[in-house]
A and B are shown apart, each in its own frame.
Chain A
Amino acid sequence: NAGVTQTPKFRVLKTGQSMTLLCAQDMNHEYMYWYRQDPGMGLRLIHYSVGEGTTAKGEVPDGYNVSRLKKQNFLLGLESAAPSQTSVYFCASRKGAGTDTQYFGPGTRLTVL
């Protein structure tokens, strides 16, 4: 039981390049989330999904797209990376709504030059 995994762990991009971050969970959780964490800002929700085939915007969705084709995977895409997207990205999952615990992946450190 690996919990929540993220790939890659680190990445450096040039402005305008695209990439996809992969999040996978093996806990059969319905809900999955993508956050970014910047110094002094706390975690901010980018997009989330309440089930396979569904996605919704969070607090800071601009410049990102997501897909949840399989229940266990949640992909975050950057179509045209910008330096403002330099951040640490965390994926999280949760069994359902309410007070269930969110389990976080180890994070992806992305630098956009």
Chain B
Amino acid sequence: RKEVEQDPGPFNVPEGATVAFNCTYSNSASQSFFWYRQDCRKEPKLLMSVYSSGNEDGRFTAQLNRASQYISLLIRDSKLSDSATYLCVVTYNNNDMRFGAGTRLTVKP
């Protein structure tokens, strides 16, 4: 079983839609959580950190449920420019970052 699991998708949604991605992790000692975004043939870039209380950045909302070992990312009012692969990342001991395989999103006009 992978340590960080994501639904690979692809998720195909129309512009303006709301879409949610889920991620589960297996190690309860996980300390930090992130969502990264990766465009095709490009490097990953930090989208947002995920805090226990949940956090929001514009159209993006991230939630963490430590009891269920579950992270989510909600994108509201999807834009064409949101099309990318979204990577769930879990950190164990400051340096051991484990990446999910990513969820691919395509937003269509």
Contacts and interface: CB of A to CB of B under 8 A. Distances in A.
A54 B96 CA distance: 16
Interface stretch (B67-75, B76-84, B97-105): B97-105
A107 B38 CA distance: 12
Contacts of A1: none
| Chain A interface extent, by class | 20 to 34
Most chain A CB within 10 A, of B32, B41, B44, is at: B44
A2 interface: no
A58 B98 CA distance: 10
Interface string A96-113: 011101101111000000
Contact of A40 (B41, B45, B94, B101): B101
A31 interface: yes
A45 B97 contact: yes
A45 B42 CA distance: 18
Contact of B44 (A31, A40, A43, A58): A43
Interface of B: 2, 4, 8, 32, 41-46, 49, 87, 94-102
Contacts of A41: 101
Interface of A is mostly: loop
Contacts of B87: 42-43
B82 to A, nearest CB: 19
Nearest to A107: B43
Nearest to B94: A97
Given A48-B95, A104-B45, 13 more contacts: A40-B101, A41-B101, A42-B4, A42-B87, A42-B98, A42-B99, A42-B101, A42-B102, A50-B95, A59-B96, A105-B43, A106-B42, A107-B43
Given A42-B100, A42-B101, A43-B87, A106 B32 contact: no
Given A90-B44, A106-B42, A106-B43, A99 B99 contact: no
Contacts of A101: 46
